[in-house]
Structure 1
């Protein structure tokens, strides 16, 4: 299961490293690349609850295998994208189907791990699960840098051997494949996918459409309205996609909110830190991978500690300490971004990663321990839907913020370099969209005012990009501060083994341990 989930985790980091090379070869804009990254996250968020429910109904093993096959087939197609006008659409479609495969794999794999460990051992077991998966994730940037130097397409093709190993190990593992005799709530699955999709689309496109456009708010508001309809429908149906009564448990609600706000920072930081390293620090893709490893070093060291705290003292102490450390780490990291030196930033990147690592396993494990009727696939689907929705929202909001601030800073740089003030904003917008890799490789060519000004202002542009990233990283610190406030809602109660009902297996499918 670690190998299976690592494939999903690796894909979140390895593509971020390749993003500048992808945009250069395919001629995509910065916002288009963010849409490609977000398509994966959005599909994860939209279909995670469905994946968890299918795992309960069809059996964990079947769903793990099916999701892995969908994921790896989509990866091959992503790596085979043709050039030209169809490139963006091709990538968007198959990144979305990749996300669908991941949404099937993750809740089923995590439910297997949860199912075979008693409550008293789950903290350390899931901490090890996240550390190993996170460790393989941390290799993503390194492999991504090396593979990108050959061809960025290989960052998708590398999933093929990983998937083969995962499928072989799944076939060799003799774990029970329990199923629940329930129907699938198809209307609920469609409603949650539509609501999340519309909402994130509006947030993501706000930079391009403008916050004052009716279309932007129609998408955001329409998505929220559909989600309200979804909740009302779920409360009335007899076999819902998500049993919303689980949110009556105050601890579960606190765990879910902590996961939401911390993930606003956790997933987006990998994309923004990678692009920052390649633009502002003039790093190569493999050097950018090493830069992100500072974050994962702290994450890996703290994750096991968080699991031990959970088993001995419960989730609340680990979540409070983790959110506080994460808030401090992101804030200090943001303050050092304009010092264009990784040497001055690594302690704070490591501190931010330690905060996330400390809280992630305790919050997720404590939430799963409170499953209704031991429906681990379903509750994992709930928590991971929230996390991936948060990741998509974070990418959309922080991407919009980065583009806005970058455009403002470049406008000032252009005017100072002699560009007429009436032309500077439009040119700045174009440049801000194009700078997703090394600025000296992305600046306009020719003899026009923008090209001339920018070729004499490369260092200023790198500093502008660093300045534009500061509010993004401060925003991540704010997200961690909000997560800390949510820990105050947690009553500090713990779940004992005898409190957990065991799931009933369908006839002929085996008996759960």
Structure 2
């Protein structure tokens, strides 16, 4: 929680009084408008990420997007969200969490309106980027507001549980609601956020109380450099297959991205309050953990995109049918998460990650062999559940490994960095794997553009590109499993991390 600074050596009574005036009294009951506002925002942000995958095929057909433009619909949002998330959380600490929460939700809502009204590729991608910026401010601030709004103990524990549950509910609801809305128009998946966002902003003014800002140095240059550097690299990799790898735009973007990344590392080493403290990476186990988190996030992001495209463009599924086809994935993931949370404190977590990665690799390589003759029950149902189960086994132990063996004050920063690693793994991997898929399609005589304009041979080439993308996803899973072999945390350390995480939430 944010606290005002009290001079060293001040009397204890003065320190207590100063702290007491910082934040309003915390609520002792969880049910009320506050938890509806905070969890509603979380559900909206998660749902928006889910439904975008289902809308890619009709969106591309309606606006005539290129394959690279279609991928930018996903990556622009994720790059802004992941790149600015750490800064977004600190803005709440510095200027007041209620104020930043309302501002973030308002920006997300306006951007959603612009997405729904988009008339071309540039407008849609720019609006999606603004959505990501709004989410990067609102989402981490919402989680911090849960801690300051509800009293430590049962009330806060219940509030955190409800807030976390919105991630799972939003993911599944997004598959159904998003599919149904996309059946009518892809614009509705964005426009529906507008009335919801307006209600959340209005209720936030009533239900939430402001927290005092804390004067601290904000690493704005670091956040901007990281986001722009990643965007440059992603642009080069995404546009390479269509513009040509020798294009000055592609080469220029790649060089600029790498140079800006070097500038980012320099800024982080010299900043007073860096977003990425290098001291947190002295432990090789933690570095291996973050690498595994990055590539596990890449698997989830890329598989969702290309499977959704394959079942709609190649198998002819409607958006709603595609959404329903993904539900077994969510159940497989949830089942594995329940198993992994118990096993992680009994066996070395690296073996859970390796087992999960192995299951993912097998399922994805099988999926890469499918073509237009595939049917859901015969060819997709079991692999979808299996890949989801593999993801669940891998992603549960990794965040605990990220915070294992650190002091309570380092849990928050490390947990945030782990979340950023998972979020940024998706768009960066999609850039590489998307380039692989497009190159494969073009090499087989396919074209980039509307599916309705393609002949059977071009459709076959397109499907081959989509399934080849799953080979790239399998490669990400393989790297995640290999990195996990270098994680040496014990079950006891993971159990301590679970206890420390709970204690940090209750503090």
Q: Please tell me the TM-score bracket, short chain as reference.
A: 0.7 to 0.9
- CA gap of 1:287–1:306, structure 2 versus 1, over 3 A, is same
After superposition, the C-alpha distances for 1:243-280 in whole angstroms (9 at most, x for unaligned) are 12111133322221111111222112222111111111
Task: Report if aligned partners of 1:53, 1:381 keep a CA contact under 8 Å in 2.
Answer: no
| Distance change in 2, residues 1:106/1:72 (3 Å) | same
- The whole-number CA distance in structure 2 between the counterparts of 1:351 and 1:501 is 30
- Distance apart, 1:140 and its partner CA: 1.4
Residues 215-249 of structure 1, C-alpha deviations (whole Å, 9 max, x = no match): 42332232122212211221122222221211113
- Count of residues in Structure 1 that have an aligned counterpart in Structure 2: 462
Alignment partner, residue 252 of structure 2: 218
Q: For structure 2, list consecutive stretches of 5 or more residues without a partner in the other structure.
A: 1-37
Match of 2:297 among 241, 244, 263: 263
Indicate the residue corresponding to 1:418 in structure 2. Answer: none
Kindly indicate whether structure 1 or structure 2 has the higher relative contact order, using CA contacts under 8 Å at least 6 residues apart: 1
Cα pair distance change 1:307/1:433, threshold 3 Å: same
**Residue of structure 1 aligned with 2:117, choices 62, 77, 80:** 80
2:126 alignment counterpart: 93
Instruction: State yes or no: 1:491 paired with 2:471.
Output: no
Shift of 1:487: 0.8
SS in structure 2 at match of 1:199: helix
The residue aligned with 1:108 is 141
Of residues 42, 64, 68, the one that matches 1:5 is 42
Aligned to 1:423: none
What is the DSSP-based 3-state SS (H/G/I as helix, E as strand, rest coil) of the residue aligned with 1:217?
helix
Could you say what secondary structure the match of 1:433 adopts?
A: coil
Q: 1:73 to 1:392 in 2, by over 3 A?
A: same
Cα distance, 1:211 vs structure 2:
2.0
**Distance (Å, rounded) in 1 between the aligned partners of 2:218 and 2:259:** 23
Residue 465 of structure 1: aligned partner: 462
Alpha-carbon distance in structure 1 between the residues aligned to 2:376 and 2:335: 20
Structure 2 counterpart of 1:401: 436
Q: Does 1:71 align with 2:108?
A: yes
DSSP-derived class of the 1:184 partner: coil
TM-aligned CA distance change 1:113 to 1:486, over 3 Å: farther
Stretches of structure 1 that go unaligned for 5 or more consecutive residues are 412-427, 444-453, 504-510
> 1: distance between equivalents of 2:252 and 2:312?
36
Q: Report the Cα offset of residue 289 of structure 1.
A: 1.2
Q: Does 1:46 align with 2:83?
A: yes
Deviation at 1:359, TM superposition (A): 2.3
TM-score (norm 2): 0.80
Alignment partner, residue 134 of structure 1: 168
Whether 1:434 and 2:467 are equivalent positions in the alignment is no
| 2:497 is equivalent to residue 482 of structure 1 | no
Is the alpha carbon distance of 1:359 and 1:241 closer, same or farther for their aligned partners in structure 2, counting shifts above 3 Å? same
Query: Structure 1: how far apart are the matches of 2:171 and 2:278?
Result: 32
- SS of 1:345's equivalent? helix
**Aligned in 2, Cα 1:462/1:499: closer, same or farther, shift over 3 Å?**
closer
